[in-house]
Structure 1
Amino acid sequence: MALPGHADRPEAPWPGASNALGSEPSAYLRQHAGNPVFWRPFGDEAFALAASRDVPVFLSIGYAACHWCHVMAHESFEDQDTADYLNAHFVPVKVDREERPDVDSVYMAATQAISGEGGWPMSVFLTPDGLAFHAGTYFPPVPLPGRPSFRNVLEAVHEAWVERRDAVEQNARGLAASMGSAQLSAAVRLDGPPETLDAGLLSEAVGALARSEDPDAGGFGTAPKFPPSAVLEFLIRHAAVPSDTAEAARDMAGRALAAMARSALRDQLDGGFARYSVAADWSVPHFEKMLYDNAQLLRVYTHWVRLGGNPVIGAAEAAEVATGCADWMLDSLALEGGALASSLDADTVVDGVHHEGAAYLWTPETLSGVLGPGDAAAVGALMNVSPEGTVSGLGSPLHPGRAFGEVEQALWERVRPALLAARNQRNQPARDNKVVAGWNGLAVAALAEAGAVMGRTDYVDAAENIATYLERVHWNAPDRLLTRVSHESVARGIGGLLEDYAFCAEGLFALYAVTGRTRWYALAESLVLAAADHFVEDGKLADSAGESAQVFNAQGQQTSLDPFDNAAPSGASAFAGALLSYAAYSGSHAHRLMAGNILGLLPPLAVRAPRVAGWLLATAQAALAGPVEAAVVGPASPARAELHASLLGSPSPGMVVALQSDDDGGSPAAGVEVPLLQHRSGAADGSPRVYLCRDMVCERPLQTAAEVEVRLAAMTS
């Protein structure tokens, strides 16, 4: 029987063949629901179908904001002839990598092993039991130098599957075994004594980072250049502790923070940061804006304010950057219900055509149309907008590339509102409304701390709204399970990964430190304890809790743990940080040992690959500092608020702050007592006091903010 509407097309390749993505909540999957490709979502049903048809699975992985994903979709997946061939000889499967990073991670490793490259869209060919045997990234519709066309690839894979099946399956098994061996060799065991941390290792890491720094443009390496958020957190923490390399760490962090703040990576009109720059000088961004990047950068700039800045970028400029980033997050990503959406698209659709960054580009003519010729010329010179567009014929992003002078600053403050208003009238990039638990956890930490440091109670309120959403929608308390993704306040049936539990716990500990509401401490504790149960088996830590048999097969039937930071900290490093904070609050020696075991990953990475170990380095810096445990006790009063603020404004690495609770809003956790606060009391006259402790051993209590600041400075020296 011919397909409806296509009398000349081949018969349906299986009963009920159709595109099955229309009912999927993922924005990325729905982008492909109209393709003539008969896509299936990732799952047992798709692989069982491949087994029954005796064909391979074609796995395509991407995400909603991905520019090249849109390109390949238009060129190949919307093409009927290509779709007919795919449908006839494969079971096509679509994956949103942001929903299923466990799937993305294992097949990215396979793609890199097979092709020597990685990226999205990712195109992987699998056996019906999930083993990868051929892979690549973007394939064009026609052959290009060094890159075959997509149709060429499909035909070659089909021919190999039919004519050389034994060799294909043998190679797939060999790759899976190799990946399994790599996982065994990289396993982290949590059931033994941890190695002793060496402070000298962190200084060596600073030296290694200095060798890869771009001292002229800021940041590390060459193009494409990503915001090194986790590394910057380490450098800021290292700079807070006197050492021979503290000043070098501070200088490196300052150069990167200044360069990004004054670049096209940062949207100079609305304050959000793009995902990365395709140019080493940060002048040409890849325009997608991700929640995880902006949450991390908000926190890093806030911590730079707390550190006090340096001559390259002072605390005042950093505070302006942080405020702009926080405002952008709340203006552009806030959803009904309190959570934050995942991202804004890289592309803007103009007259039915996707154009990368179109909403953000300017020409001298478009500037003049808003500002008039005089101001337009001045702004064009200031922001590097010339007749030759740096991105496309549509123009250039606004890229000052340096600090403004006083006159320039006044000009910019005068024209910025008009430019932003004009830009808001353009077609805007699409938003992916998917809520990812871990990324919202990062936002909770960033907003809570930014609110405390910059006196913005609205940021703290927003952090509490997000935390309430996570507790209500994503956390299943009876089963102690966290769901990774939700849409429209309904949890999607995808189990949280280690990173989700860790990021959420980190955010909730930060929120507790700012608010003193024990409901957030209790929820963070529940997440840490649940993660220790779900992701540790036979003493080994894993990134996921066995969501997929196919993923398990693809990595040689071994659990996987990726120790390397990517755009966000690795699950392992984030969990180490959450464990360390929990141990500091609770006094749990067992959880501190677990954190120490994860930090055992650090010695081989600190000098050879510090750029992918930033959060491990930051956590190690906190562990070496204690971290300091601060308990604020006594009834609510302006004096207690001053003591609390002095602690929240301290750059002491990884310090935890416990505030005696006055009102937990009727929460069931209102009666929970944080162990750090037990047996600590205010002064005899009722005035508040601060106890500064390490490993639950406290010094004499302090009663003034000045005393606290002096003692903290001494404790970090």
Structure 2
Amino acid sequence: MATGAKDHRQSHTQTQLQVPNRLIHEKSPYLLQHAYNPVDWFPWGQEAFDKAKDENKPIFLSVGYSTCHWCHVMEEESFRNKEIGQILNEDFVSVKVDREERPDVDKVYMTFVQATSSGGGWPMNVWLTPDLQPFVGGTYFPPEDGLTRVSFRTVLLRIRDQWKQNKAMLLENSQRVTASLLARSEITVGDRELPPSALAVSQRCFQQLEEVYDEEHGGFAEAPKFPTPVILSFLFSYWATHRMIPDGFRAQQMAMHSLKMMANGGIRDHVGQGFHRYSTDRQWHIPHFEKMLYDQAQLAVAYTQAFQMSGDELFSDVAKGILHYVSQNLSHPSGGFYSAEDADSVPEGGAKPKEGAYYLWTVNEIKDLLPEPVEGATEPLTLGQLFMKHYGVTETGNIGSTQDPHGELQGQNVLTVRYSMDLTAARFGLEAETVRKLLDTGREKLIQIRKRRSRPRLDIKMLAAWNGLMVSGFAVAGAVLGKEELISQAIDGAKFLKRHLFDVSSGRLLRGCYADIGGTVEQSSSQFWGFLEDYAFVIRGLLDLYEASRESAWLEWALRLQEMQDRLFWDSQGGGYFCSEAELGGNLPLHLKDGQ
């Protein structure tokens, strides 16, 4: 059961005296975070589209999610600003979308942003014609003009003036870009030469990953660096089919090393367990602190697979830690799983949330918490000193200026394993098992202190896709580790999916639902049918659960869902699966498949 779930919501209750906008009627935590903005927000829907057409105004579309740090920043800097609100209300029709409720909307306009700018991300801000054709897009905009970036206000005023003075040019550019993207989205099997075999495809994938592999720190990029468990799973599969040749051993080594470096780094929460969203540096040291359910689910499987192949208990310990975190913090009493925990929370004595406040430590805090002397050491030593040595805690903090551009984290420390257990033990003349127990004692005391801190906000949305992934996580770990209680939790998760996210009359999945403060489960304000990813990941979860439990009912349901997936999403003309049903997208300018 999720501990403190009620407190998550109560501690972030709106206290503003302003009249709420129409988002107050939504269930999405992300949309509700904007319900008291002075912006006349609309949810995605026909009411907003009709208003834009009737008043001949461009649509301002802003997409994000509830645990997105920079979404919070832009909301505070710009969307709470009355002057900005007045500009938006007078000259635009403003629409807010939770990307996790509507991944189809997010994918279409992210494709446009990535094609027309230097990158993508959230918050994503796109300007559309009343016919939903995009013509300008970007991500975060600062509140003031700078040397390299213009402010959100400046962008709004420029687009307003261009719409009034050069509307024909904007429409022409929009149609040209959209036509180009549409041509790309309509590539079919017959338009290109097929690869000679699945083997050739997997070999090419492996070669591409090897080219960008970080030999020193693991992972497959510079910075920011994401865990990418799907890549790790591919490498393990590649090893399984190529284990007799050097490439297979290399694939396994790349995956194992990456998992070890992540397990030691600050991207892993060494106190409360689980993994943060990504690392801001190559070393996996300073994370972006939000915790997403889908990362926990996929990493639990990856670490379990690593243990299965190596027998190294480091991997099984990490997998069990992830699942313990999910059980304690992201699990609903009915068996489902919440989506995420925020990166930001209110620091002790602070007035407003800051990123990482719940997870960071100062030297003085650890000294005060762990003053006990350590017996048997070769020099005078306290538990706090041992703890700080092992986890890289310093007087001045271990967060560099490049990871803290605003100077908010000075003197703070992210726990990251600096030495192996054997090296820490040798440094102080202790046995490794003694050090292990001492560190466990220290972490338990830090957990108790954390319980007094203001927790990060909980996203109470429960998505079919992510719940399916989490069923896989518990089922695979339970089967490999021989833990019946983990298989039981996977069964509870599957029952939750069938009870709350499956429409029996139509045989179709629903996208998501919400848990209210009382613990009951409710559907979204607008019922969204499941997308391709919901079917794919729920089916995967059911198959893993069938293998773990040997209950044929889960296999039978998986087969029925596969038939429905084929009927709803398969492209009989061009091959492959569309991400969403054509009619669900309504007037969306593109109908996309994954990989486009």
Q: Shorter-chain-normalised TM-score: which range?
A: 0.7 to 0.9
Which residue of 2 is the match for residue 119 of structure 1?
121
Which residue of 1 is the match for residue 394 of structure 2?
386
Which residue of 2 is the match for residue 367 of structure 1?
366
Name the SS of the counterpart of 1:539 in structure 2: coil
Name the SS of the counterpart of 2:346 in structure 1: strand
Would you say 1:317 and 2:314 are equivalent positions?
Answer: yes
Aligned partner of 1:501 among 535, 542, 547: 535
Cα distance change of structure 1 residues 188 and 410 upon mapping to structure 2, 3 Å threshold: farther
Cα distance change of structure 1 residues 126 and 550 upon mapping to structure 2, 3 Å threshold: farther
Would you say 1:521 and 2:521 are equivalent positions?
Answer: no
Please give the per-residue CA displacement for 1:265-301, whole angstroms capped at 9, x wherever unaligned: 1110121100100011000000000000000000011
Q: Which moved more, 1:476-485 or 1:173-182?
A: 476-485
Q: In structure 2, what is the Cα distance between the partners aligned to 1:319 and 1:537?
A: 40
Matches within 5 A, 1:249-328: 249-309=251-311, 314=312, 316-328=313-325
Which residue of 1 is the match for residue 233 of structure 2?
233
What is the CA distance between 1:198 and its match in structure 2? 4.3
Name the SS of the counterpart of 1:61 in structure 2: strand
Matches within 5 A, 1:431-446: 431-446=458-473
Aligned partner of 1:48 among 30, 50, 56: 50
Please give the per-residue CA displacement for 1:476-505, whole angstroms capped at 9, x wherever unaligned: 132122111111323331121111101000
Cα RMSD for the two superposed structures: 2.1
What is the CA distance between 1:352 and its match in structure 2? 3.2
Q: In structure 1, what is the Cα distance between the partners aligned to 2:189 and 2:25?
A: 39
Matches within 5 A, 1:59-458: 59-185=61-187, 187=188, 197-241=197-241, 242-244=243-245, 245-309=247-311, 314=312, 316-350=313-347, 351-372=350-371, 374-389=382-397, 390=399, 392-393=409-410, 395-405=412-422, 406=432, 408-458=435-485
Please give the per-residue CA displacement for 1:215-240, whole angstroms capped at 9, x wherever unaligned: 11111110100002011111112223
Matches within 5 A, 1:632-711: none
Please give the per-residue CA displacement for 1:384-421, whole angstroms capped at 9, x wherever unaligned: 12233315136121111443221542331221111111
Q: Is the 8 A contact 1:82 1:151 kept in 2?
A: yes
Cα distance change of structure 1 residues 193 and 179 upon mapping to structure 2, 3 Å threshold: closer
Which residue of 2 is the match for residue 681 of structure 1?
none
What is the CA distance between 1:243 and its match in structure 2? 3.1
Which residue of 1 is the match for residue 545 of structure 2?
511
Please give the per-residue CA displacement for 1:665-695, whole angstroms capped at 9, x wherever unaligned: xxxxxxxxxxxxxxxxxxxxxxxxxxxxxxx
Q: Which amino acid aligns with 1:481?
A: R
| Runs of 5+ consecutive residues of structure 1 not aligned to the other structure | 7-16, 565-717
Name the SS of the counterpart of 1:368 in structure 2: helix
Cα distance change of structure 1 residues 518 and 174 upon mapping to structure 2, 3 Å threshold: same
Q: In structure 2, what is the Cα distance between the partners aligned to 1:253 and 1:203?
A: 16
Cα distance change of structure 1 residues 188 and 333 upon mapping to structure 2, 3 Å threshold: farther
Q: In structure 2, what is the Cα distance between the partners aligned to 1:143 and 1:59?
A: 21
Please give the per-residue CA displacement for 1:284-336, whole angstroms capped at 9, x wherever unaligned: 00000000000000001111112125xxxx2x111100000011111110013
Q: Normalising by structure 1, what TM-score?
A: 0.73
Aligned length: 539
Aligned partner of 1:545 among 556, 575, 581: 581
Which residue of 1 is the match for residue 379 of structure 2?
none
Q: In structure 1, what is the Cα distance between the partners aligned to 2:120 and 2:39?
A: 24
Q: Is the 8 A contact 1:240 1:307 kept in 2?
A: no
Q: In structure 1, what is the Cα distance between the partners aligned to 2:214 and 2:455?
A: 33
What is the CA distance between 1:424 and its match in structure 2? 1.8
Which residue of 2 is the match for residue 563 of structure 1?
595
Cα distance change of structure 1 residues 188 and 287 upon mapping to structure 2, 3 Å threshold: farther
What is the CA distance between 1:193 and its match in structure 2? 13
Q: Is the 8 A contact 1:66 1:120 kept in 2?
A: yes
Q: Is the 8 A contact 1:361 1:394 kept in 2?
A: no
Structure possessing the higher radius of gyration over alpha carbons = 1
- Percent identity between matched residues is 36
Name the SS of the counterpart of 1:94 in structure 2: strand
Q: In structure 2, what is the Cα distance between the partners aligned to 1:343 and 1:43?
A: 26
Which residue of 2 is the match for residue 36 of structure 1?
38
What is the CA distance between 1:103 and its match in structure 2? 0.7
Q: In structure 1, what is the Cα distance between the partners aligned to 2:314 and 2:197?
A: 35
Q: Is the 8 A contact 2:125 2:139 kept in 1?
A: yes
Q: Which amino acid aligns with 1:409?
A: R
Aligned partner of 1:490 among 517, 522, 526: 522
Cα distance change of structure 1 residues 364 and 421 upon mapping to structure 2, 3 Å threshold: same
Which residue of 2 is the match for residue 573 of structure 1?
none
Please give the per-residue CA displacement for 1:124-169, whole angstroms capped at 9, x wherever unaligned: 1011111111111111110122110110000000001000010011
Q: Is the 8 A contact 2:20 2:37 kept in 1?
A: no
Please give the per-residue CA displacement for 1:558-580, whole angstroms capped at 9, x wherever unaligned: x211227xxxxxxxxxxxxxxxx
Name the SS of the counterpart of 2:345 in structure 1: strand
Q: In structure 1, what is the Cα distance between the partners aligned to 2:367 and 2:583?
A: 55
Q: Which amino acid aligns with 1:219?
A: G
Q: Is the 8 A contact 2:514 2:522 kept in 1?
A: yes
Q: In structure 1, what is the Cα distance between the partners aligned to 2:156 and 2:537?
A: 40
Q: Is the 8 A contact 1:292 1:439 kept in 2?
A: yes
Q: In structure 2, what is the Cα distance between the partners aligned to 1:194 and 1:496?
A: 31
| Runs of 5+ consecutive residues of structure 2 not aligned to the other structure | 1-16, 373-381, 423-431, 516-520
Would you say 1:23 and 2:50 are equivalent positions?
Answer: no
Q: Normalising by structure 2, what TM-score?
A: 0.87
Q: In structure 2, what is the Cα distance between the partners aligned to 1:386 and 1:39?
A: 46
